[in-house]
C-alpha cells in the first residue's frame, strides 16, 4: 500500500475532524457584529452589558475557543507573566521559599487566563537571554524574587517599562518600583530581643547573603537589639541561606566565639544546619544555647528540637505581589507604594 493510500485510509477510519466554531458564528448566534463579539471576548471594552451577556451565552453554547494569536493582536497582551528567580537550579528546587512563592502566585492568577512562566536567571550568558526575553516583552509582566545587588534585572525592567513587582526589597531601582516584603529589620531585632529576654548574654548571628536586602536588614536588626541592651555584637559570620552554608558558618562561629549562649540565624535552612553542628559539639539546645531562625516555611517544625523562628509570610506576600502586578497590567493600579508585612515570632522548643 502506498503512502497516499495509507493516508487516505487512515483519514477515512478517523473520520472528519469536528468543526471549530468561528468568531463569525459567535457573532451571528449573539446577534451582534463581528467587531462587537471580538471586543466582548477580549475584555469587554465599549460593549454594552446586554451584548456582553449575549456573546457569553453564544461562546458557551458553541464551545468557542478564542485564537490566542489573534487575541494578542487585539489586546497587545500575551496572557503570561514571568516569575524571575536569579538563583541556581538546585536552590530553586530545594528552598521552600520558592515553593511558597509559586503557591502564592498561583492563587493570585487562579481566576484569570494568566499563564506563569518560570525564568531561572542564572549568571552569565543565560542571564542575558533572560534580559532579552523581558526586554522584548514576551510576557505582560514579571514578579522577581531573590534579587541580588549585582543583578541587572532592575535596570532591564526600567528600560522596557514592563510592569513588575519584586517579592523582597530590591537592592536598587532606577525608577519607582513596587515590592512586597516582610519587615526584615524588625524581624532580626525581635528575634534577638527574644533571646535577650530568655537570659542570653553572648548572642551570635549567622547572616544571610549580604548582597541581598534581606540579609543586610536582618543583620542590622540583630546588631541594634544588642547595642540597645549594651551587649557585644562581634559574634557574626556570613552564611548563604542554605543548610550546608549554615553548618559551615556554625563551625566558624563556634571556633571564634565558643562563649555564645544564643544564636539568631537568618533562615531556617541555615538554622537546621546549625543544629546538627551544635549537636556534634555537645551543645544542647536550648539548655546550653538557644537558637532562633527566620522563615517558618515548614523546616522549623521538622527539626529536633523544633525551631523558634520569625514568620515570613511568603505565600501571602506572593499572592499580593501577583494581585499588584495584575493591577499594573490592567491599568487599575493606584499606587506603587511597597506593601510591608509585620514581623511575628513563632515560639517553639529551641528558644
DSSP state of 34: H
Phi/psi of residue 150, nearest 5 degrees: -90, 0
318: Cα separation from own chain's centroid: 5
Q: Report pLDDT for 35.
A: 85
Q: Report pLDDT for 71.
A: 52
Q: Report pLDDT for 70.
A: 52
| Domains of the chain and any CATH numbers | 3-75 (1.10.260.40), 80-181+315-340 (3.40.50.2300), 184-313 (3.40.50.2300)
Q: Report pLDDT for 126.
A: 65
3-state class of 99 per DSSP?
Answer: helix
3-state helix, strand, coil in the chain (%, to 5): 45, 15, 40
Q: Report pLDDT for 134.
A: 87
Q: Report pLDDT for 347.
A: 98
Successive 10-residue mean pLDDT values, the chain, 351 residues: 41 51 89 87 77 90 70 64 85 86 94 89 72 87 89 79 92 79 98 98 97 96 98 97 96 97 97 97 97 96 97 97 94 90 97 97
Amino acid at each position: 500500500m502506498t503512502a497516499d493510500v495509507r493516508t487516505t485510509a487512515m483519514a477515512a477510519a478517523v473520520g472528519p475532524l469536528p468543526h471549530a466554531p468561528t468568531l463569525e458564528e459567535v457573532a451571528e448566534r449573539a446577534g451582534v457584529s463581528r467587531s462587537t463579539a471580538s471586543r466582548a471576548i477580549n475584555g469587554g471594552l465599549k460593549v454594552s452589558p446586554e451584548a456582553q451577556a449575549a456573546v457569553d451565552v453564544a461562546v458557551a453554547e458553541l464551545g468557542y475557543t478564542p485564537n490566542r494569536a489573534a487575541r494578542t493582536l487585539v489586546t497587545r497582551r500575551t496572557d503570561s507573566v514571568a516569575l524571575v528567580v536569579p538563583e541556581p537550579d538546585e536552590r530553586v528546587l530545594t528552598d521552600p521559599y520558592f515553593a511558597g512563592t509559586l503557591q502564592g502566585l498561583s492563587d493570585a492568577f487562579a481566576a484569570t487566563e494568566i499563564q506563569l512562566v518560570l525564568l531561572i536567571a542564572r549568571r552569565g550568558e543565560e542571564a542575558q537571554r533572560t534580559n532579552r526575553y523581558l526586554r522584548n516583552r514576551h510576557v505582560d509582566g514579571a514578579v522577581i524574587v531573590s534579587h541580588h545587588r549585582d543583578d541587572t534585572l532592575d535596570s532591564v525592567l526600567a528600560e522596557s517599562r514592563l510592569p513588575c513587582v519584586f517579592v523582597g526589597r530590591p537592592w536598587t531601582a532606577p525608577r519607582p518600583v513596587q515590592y512586597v516584603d516582610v519587615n526584615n529589620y524588625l524581624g532580626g531585632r525581635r528575634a534577638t530581643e527574644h533571646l535577650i529576654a530568655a537570659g542570653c548574654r553572648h548572642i551570635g548571628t549567622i547572616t544571610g547573603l549580604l548582597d541581598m536586602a534581606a540579609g543586610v536588614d536582618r543583620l542590622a536588626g540583630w546588631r541594634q537589639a544588642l547595642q540597645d541592651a549594651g551587649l557585644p555584637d562581634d559574634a557574626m559570620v556570613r552564611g548563604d541561606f542554605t543548610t550546608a552554608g549554615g553548618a559551615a558558618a556554625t563551625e566558624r562561629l563556634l571556633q571564634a566565639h565558643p562563649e555564645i549562649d544564643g544564636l539568631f540565624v537568618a533562615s531556617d535552612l541555615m538554622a537546621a544546619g546549625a543544629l546538627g553542628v551544635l549537636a556534634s559539639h555537645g551543645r544542647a539546645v536550648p539548655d546550653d544555647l538557644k537558637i532562633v531562625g527566620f522563615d517558618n516555611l515548614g523546616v522549623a517544625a521538622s527539626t529536633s528540637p523544633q525551631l523558634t523562628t520569625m514568620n515570613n509570610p511568603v505565600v501571602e506576600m506572593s499572592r499580593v505581589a501577583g494581585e499588584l502586578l495584575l493591577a499594573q497590567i490592567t491599568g487599575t493600579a493606584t499606587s506603587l507604594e511597597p506593601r510591608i508585612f509585620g514581623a511575628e515570632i513563632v515560639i517553639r522548643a529551641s528558644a
